[in-house]
């Protein structure tokens, strides 16, 4: 019983260390974005609080990630950061926080249990948890983006039917939409178009970074409409209907998969308790 309580407390400390480290990383990323925004506006930014620590991680771990066997891992972390919309964060910083979480789990389990097996398990879990957190955040962001895409296409089609150009429709959507991941991506496309990039380049760059089928379909539709001289408003209207149908299909698929996903918790958690309640008194009487 004591070992079980120690394991639970150590897991709690590991999760707390993970949240603390990754929360600090998020604050640093948001502050870096604020610093760049103030620089564009002509304001003098303050010094970044953890800048020396970040420089230390980047200078030492960046060389490590250049190794051929670790380069693929660095690219994978960068890919997760891009899916999260955190292109300003570098892979060495994430790896550094993974090392901190792993060492924190190792120290906590080693201090509480004093067993090598638990300490090694905590070390591995501490290193894997930040990566799992990044993957969950990336998947949640992509789900929000796909959920908001049909509504955004309907707004863009209405603006185009009212006589606005595609860039003006994007500008109107960015000004009126609530802060969402899709609004950030549309604002990025609009900013690239205003900075001199073509509409095709901006859309294709965003689609390549997101790597989502629906957004790639949206990009291909706009590019083909511009190439063949088709009406952008009609294309956006058809795309919105298509995206809405795909959204309904994804919802139906999730509903159909729900019984299969509930089978494992049912067998492992609910069924043993039910059997214990039903046959427990009978077993006790038999033992007496």
Angle between helices 213-228 and 199-210 (to 10 degrees): 160
User: For residue 231, what pLDDT band results from cuts at 50, 70 and 90?
Assistant: confident
pLDDT at residue 136 tops 70: yes
pLDDT at residue 192 tops 50: yes
What's the fold here for domain 144-248?
A: Receptor-associated Protein (1.20.81)
Rounded CA gap, 177 and 144, in Å?
14
Q: Which two tokens stand for residue 40?
A: 């564009």
Rounded CA gap, 16 and 129, in Å?
11
Give yes or no for a contact between 22 and 86, defined as CB atoms under 8 angstroms apart.
Answer: no
Q: What would the pLDDT profile of 27-78 be if each residue is shown by its tens digit?
A: 445 444 444 434 333 334 444 344 555 566 666 666 565 566 666 777 777 7
Q: Which two tokens stand for residue 196?
A: 């001199």
Give yes or no for a contact between 141 and 221, defined as CB atoms under 8 angstroms apart.
Answer: no
Give yes or no for a contact between 224 and 237, defined as CB atoms under 8 angstroms apart.
Answer: no
pLDDT at residue 7 tops 60: no
Q: Tell which wins on pLDDT, 249 or 88.
A: 249
Give yes or no for a contact between 174 and 183, defined as CB atoms under 8 angstroms apart.
Answer: yes
Q: Which two tokens stand for residue 253?
A: 């698929």
- What's residue 57's pLDDT? 61
Contacts (Cβ under 8 Å, ≥6 apart) of 93: 25, 28, 54, 57, 58
SS percent in the chain: helix, strand, coil, step 5: 85, 0, 15
Q: What angle do CA 134, 138, 142 make, to 5 degrees?
A: 175
Maximum Cα–Cα distance for the chain, whole Å?
Answer: 87
Give yes or no for a contact between 24 and 51, defined as CB atoms under 8 angstroms apart.
Answer: no
- Residue span(s) of the chain under CATH 1.20.81 come to 144-248
Calculated CA dihedral for residues 10, 11, 17, 23, nearest 10 degrees: -160
- What's residue 51's pLDDT? 52
């Amino acid at each position: 019983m004591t070992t079980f309580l120690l394991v639970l407390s150590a897991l709690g400390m590991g999760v707390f260390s993970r949240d603390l480290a990754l929360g600090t990383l998020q604050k640093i990323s948001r502050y870096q974005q604020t610093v760049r925004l103030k620089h564009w506006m002509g304001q003098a930014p303050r010094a970044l609080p953890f800048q020396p620590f970040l420089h230390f991680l980047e200078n030492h771990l960046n060389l490590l990630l250049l190794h051929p066997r670790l380069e693929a891992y660095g690219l994978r972390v960068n890919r997760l950061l891009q899916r999260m919309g955190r292109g300003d964060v570098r892979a060495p910083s994430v790896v550094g926080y993974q090392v901190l979480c792993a060492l924190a789990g190792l120290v906590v389990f080693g201090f509480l249990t004093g067993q090598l097996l638990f300490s090694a398990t905590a070390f591995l879990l501490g290193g894997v948890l930040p990566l799992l957190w990044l993957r969950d955040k990336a998947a949640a962001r992509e789900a929000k983006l796909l959920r908001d895409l049909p509504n955004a296409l309907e707004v863009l089609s209405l603006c185009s039917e009212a006589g606005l150009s595609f860039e003006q429709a994007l500008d109107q959507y960015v000004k009126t939409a609530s802060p969402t991941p899709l609004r950030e991506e549309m604002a990025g496309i609009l900013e690239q178009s205003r900075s001199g990039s073509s509409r095709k380049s901006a859309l294709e760059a965003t689609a390549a970074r997101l790597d989502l089928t629906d957004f790639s379909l949206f990009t291909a539709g706009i590019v083909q409409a511009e190439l063949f001289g088709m009406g952008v408003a009609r294309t956006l209207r058809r795309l919105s209907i298509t995206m809405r149908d795909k959204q309904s299909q994804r919802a139906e698929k999730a509903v159909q998969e729900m019984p299969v996903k509930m089978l494992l918790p049912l067998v492992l958690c609910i069924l043993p308790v039910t059997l214990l309640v039903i046959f427990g008194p009978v077993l006790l009487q038999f033992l007496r």
